[in-house]
Amino acid sequence: MATFLQQIINGIAQGSAYALIALGYTMVYGVLRLINFAHSDVYMFGAFMGYYTANNPWIKSTFGQSLTAAAVVMLIAMVLSAGLGILIERFAYRPNRSETRFTLAFWLGILGAAAGQLMSPGFFALTLGAAIGIAIGVVGEIAGLRPVRQDSRLSLLIIAIGVSLFLENGGQVAFGADPKFFPEIIQTAQWNVVGLKVDSQQVIVLGVSIILMVLLNLLVHYTRTGKAMRAVSYNLDAAKLMGINTDRIIALTFAVGSALAAAGGILVTLLYPKIEPLMGVMPGLKAFAAAVLGGIGNMTGAMLGGLILGIAEVMAVGYGQSTYRDAIAFIILVLILLVKPDGIMGKGPTEKV
Amino acid sequence: MSILSIRQCTKRFGGLVAVKDLNMALNPGDLYGLIGPNGAGKTTVFNLITGVYTPDEGAIELDGRAIQGRKPSTIAKQGMSRTFQNIRLFKSMTVLENVLASSHMHRKQGMFDAIVRTRPLKNEEAEIRTAGMELLKIFGLDKRAHELASNLPYGSQRRLEIVRALATKPKVLLLDEPAAGMNPQEAIDLMHLIQFCRDKFHLTILLVEHNMKVVMGVCEKIQVIDYGETIALGSPKEIRDDPRVIEAYLGGA
Amino acid sequence: MKKGIFWILALAILALLQSGLQGYIGAYYYQIVIFVGINIILAVSLNLINGTTGQFSIGHAGFYAVGAYTSASLLYYGEPTFRGWISFLPHSAQDVVLLLFGLLAAALAAGFAGLLVGIPSLRLRGDYLAIVTLGFGEIIRVLILNINAVGAARGFLGIPEFSNFFWVYLFALITVVVVHNLVNSSYGRAFISIRDDEIAAEAMGIDTTRFKVMSFVISSMFAGIAGGLFAHFTAFLSPNTFQFTTSFYLIIMIVVGGMGSIEGAILGAILITVILEAFREFGAFRFVNFAVLLVLVMLFRPQGIVGSWSLFRKAGAR
């Protein structure tokens, strides 16, 4: 019985992390009907930003090993990831549905930077390449090369796959493919609660997750912005007609979702300190399964789904075959889709004949 | 002996009873109209007949065989076809292809023949094409046979939907608000078209419609429903003068 | 008798190319040509279900895997026995029979998997269908990962090598012809009508579930054949080859080529395979550049290169 409860605790900790990532998936799906495959890589980005922040000498000396240090690291990671999310939304997803300037310049700039780096490694070549790319892009745009505004869900999906590939491989180039270890930014302790072992990290993970989810809930249900976000998720066109700046709301949704993913990334490193550029792939898919389990587009569902998945996974490993660990998420995913596709919290869509 | 009959049908959606103990009987060759104020349950009845919904109680029979709860494609194969309130043509196909698509269920040649392109298959394909073109010709659409269906003007699209339904060689044809969006002249043409279809193809036609001119002008029998129940049944003249019908539509002034 | 002439000519050309190709272009390019051929089979078959029938499936790698492992294990473990049965044939003829036998088994196994996956999944629409097929694809991969008899995570070594340019491109040709004939028949119209408007198709007497499953099974059978051809060429299989990323690449091929058309699928298969190979020279930036290029293509030419019918639906609509 003790082991069982112990596993539950482990599962809840794991599940909270999944829940945070799942929230990002569900929020973006809610406003754009897009499965943002790149989300898992923002999670990775967040973890790495946290890593570099935590290893920064100034940060180390100012905050040492403390709760404040952890908070600072997490905050910085969240802000940087929110920025990444906004960039992605603006230059990868938005051009498909509304007029976006400098799209060509942005991507050619990246290609230029890559080309520069390939030809002669170093900061100078990189910047020069980027500058040339941007210049060509601007010229091209003036000449009339604009993205096709076709609002196509399929193209959006492929673009998401492309961005994901870009971040994963870009991460390997920028951070190095070898795994790194997150430094200890907070002292660990272990407590004995009614005979069960509870790590301080687990408490932090759960605590921070709860705080973030409460804040998110406040945002979405008690602010005007939150109302706008909900309106956009119900009906984009109607929201536009009501005077809501849908582009801004969507950008905000991405920012919040990405920040949550980054938080999830940092929290997970408290439990498992190893980070590497592909660390987002599996957790991403699983968090996605969690979002579907809860009902894709539904935030409470994402939180529930994450918790259930976390517990289920820990149970499976603890009592069953560990090699099937990854399959648990997919089996749950398939089962829920076949039995109740709208998930635990979802309601069925109806089509008028 | 009725060709299409509904017996004591009830359909509930949660707490709402959309259709209650409904009866309907169409004889072969009838031009039958189903009317009623908005929300009366006409679309529900339509969907019950065509297999989109399954009745909670009661039975529906087509030509003596029970069809309640069966798949729409099964019902279509048994001889009932329909058009849609919001035109549902196959947008990426041409006019002719739309018609050919509904001929599929009458094919004898199987998939192997299709893949290997046997002589019998090619013959069958040619026959069906000829038949399709002839059908289009009757309705004046043959000149545009190879145009994309979505490029046709609205009135022609409605006509094409009827032709497509006819290509399934039905015994009973269901028309779902065929006059929607039509101006008075188009509506008159539609009335002639419906008469023509019934006569030439020996059909029974059931019509759901809001346009009273069309209903009164073309239907021989009319059933009026309100709140899922029948409130009147008879000839156009009888219905026009029926006080219950007037009250249902005008709210009893 | 135009059909007969076509096939005799095709066989002759393929045999001719087979005899000289590797010597002429070298082993490295030969391998790329082979992979292009296999990807053509995969892309054209995927296009049947995604493009023609409009059912968005991202699990193709799963059927590819089933076919590969079925043929590989059947011939790996059974080769001596089978050779014994047909010992009256000359050795090279035995090879042909064994390969065809393996491919048949691959097709049947993959088709059966397609049936098992298709029947419950094809009730779902749009995104849900995409996700469930993704899930099934991964489940298949994890299952294979746990079977020791086929090497599990270590990989399956020593698979007999029977396939080559001739066989890969013969089956690529067969795939294209079969799919083409099917699409241009009454069955094809049934598939397309399901894509265009499922409710109307059903009302016109087309049993949409049956046809969707049909399209799915045919599609997976060809994926299985591709798997078999792959297994007997590389002589080595690893579950990592069949991850969802492979399914993604196949989708990319048919979308970039132009979804809904066979030519688009072929073009996309050739283009993506070649580009990915060519980008090797970019070293660590290989996939970075590929990804940027992909995003650019999707932003500036979303209908693909051939650009015929496409599954364009508004992003904001439910």
- A332 belongs to a structural domain: yes
Start-to-end C-alpha separation, chain A: 54
Which tens digit of pLDDT belongs to each residue from A111-124? 999 988 888 888 88
Domain hosting residue A30, numbered range = 2-98+184-339
Residues of C in Cβ contact (< 8 Å) with A117 = 285
Centre a 10 Å sphere on the Cβ of residue B158 and count the other Cβ atoms it contains.
Answer: 24
The predicted structure's pLDDT at residue B250: 66
Residue for token digits 């990804």? C291
Average pLDDT over residues C92-106: 91
d(CA A101, nearest CA chain C) in Å: 13
Instruction: Give the three-state DSSP class for C237.
Output: strand
Mean residue pLDDT across chain A: 88
Residues of B in Cβ contact (< 8 Å) with C187 = 104, 111, 114
Please give the DSSP secondary-structure letter assigned to residue C56: -
The predicted structure's pLDDT at residue A1: 65
- Indicate the pairing of strand B172-176 with strand B80-82: parallel
> Which is it for the CA torsion A84, A85, A88, A89, positive or negative?
negative
> Which residue would you say has higher pLDDT here, B13 or C2?
B13
Which tens digit of pLDDT belongs to each residue from C223-234? 999 999 999 999
C102 has pLDDT over 90: yes
Question: What is the secondary structure of A231-283 as a DSSP string?
Answer: HHHH-HHHHHHTT--HHHHHHHHHHHHHHHHHHHHHHHHHH--EE-TTTTHHH
How many Cα atoms within 13 Å fall on the side-chain side of residue A173? 21
Please give the DSSP secondary-structure letter assigned to residue A88: H
Q: Which domains, ranges and CATH numbers included, belong to chain B? A: 1-79+170-253 (3.40.50.300), 91-164 (no CATH)
Q: Quick check: C288 and A166 CB within 8 A?
A: yes
Average pLDDT over residues A209-234: 91
Distance CA A320, CA A311 (A): 13
Distance CA B204, CA B68 (A): 19
Which tens digit of pLDDT belongs to each residue from B33-63? 999 888 788 888 988 999 989 999 999 999 8
The number of domains in chain A is: 1
Distance CA A32, CA B208 (A): 38
Average pLDDT over residues C281-290: 90
Instruction: Give the three-state DSSP class for C60.
Output: helix
Q: Does A202 touch chain C (CB under 8 A)?
A: no
C84 has pLDDT over 50: yes
Centre a 10 Å sphere on the Cβ of residue A7 and count the other Cβ atoms it contains.
Answer: 17
Question: Number of A:B CB contacts under 8 A?
Answer: 4
Residue percentage of chain C with pLDDT more than 90: 59
Q: Does C301 touch chain B (CB under 8 A)?
A: no
The predicted structure's pLDDT at residue C270: 96
Question: What is the secondary structure of A159-171 as a DSSP string?
Answer: HHHHHHHHHHHHH
Average pLDDT over residues A170-174: 91
Residues of B in Cβ contact (< 8 Å) with A353 = 43, 47, 52, 84
A144 has pLDDT over 60: yes
Interface probe with B: pick from A347, A352, A353, most Cβ of B within 10 Å: A353
In angstroms, the Cα distances linking B89 to A221, B47, B208, C198, C216 are 42, 18, 19, 11, 24
Residues of B in Cβ contact (< 8 Å) with C200 = 84, 88-90
The predicted structure's pLDDT at residue C240: 86
Give the angle subtended at the CA of C172 by the CAs of C169 and C176, to the nearest 5°. Answer: 140
Q: Does C311 touch chain B (CB under 8 A)?
A: no
Instruction: Give the three-state DSSP class for A245.
Output: coil
The predicted structure's pLDDT at residue C188: 92
Distance CA A89, CA B62 (A): 55
Distance CA A20, CA B37 (A): 50
Q: Does C181 touch chain B (CB under 8 A)?
A: yes
In this structure, what are the phi and psi dihedrals at residue A285, rounded to the nearest 5 degrees?
-60, -40
d(CA C208, nearest CA chain B) in Å: 8
What are the beta bridge partners of residue B65? B62
Q: Quick check: B73 and C206 CB within 8 A?
A: yes
CB interface of A with C, residues 49-68, below 8 Å: none
Q: Does B229 touch chain C (CB under 8 A)?
A: no
A39 has pLDDT over 50: yes
The predicted structure's pLDDT at residue C63: 96
Going residue by residue through chain B, which has 253 residues, state the pLDDT in tens, using 9 for 90 and above: 789 999 999 999 888 888 988 999 999 999 999 998 887 888 889 889 999 899 999 999 998 899 988 999 999 999 999 999 889 999 999 999 999 999 887 777 788 878 888 888 888 889 999 999 999 999 989 999 999 999 999 889 999 999 999 999 999 999 999 988 888 898 898 999 999 999 999 999 999 988 888 998 999 999 999 888 898 999 998 888 888 888 877 654 4
Output the domain CATH number for residue A280. Answer: 1.10.3470
The predicted structure's pLDDT at residue B39: 78
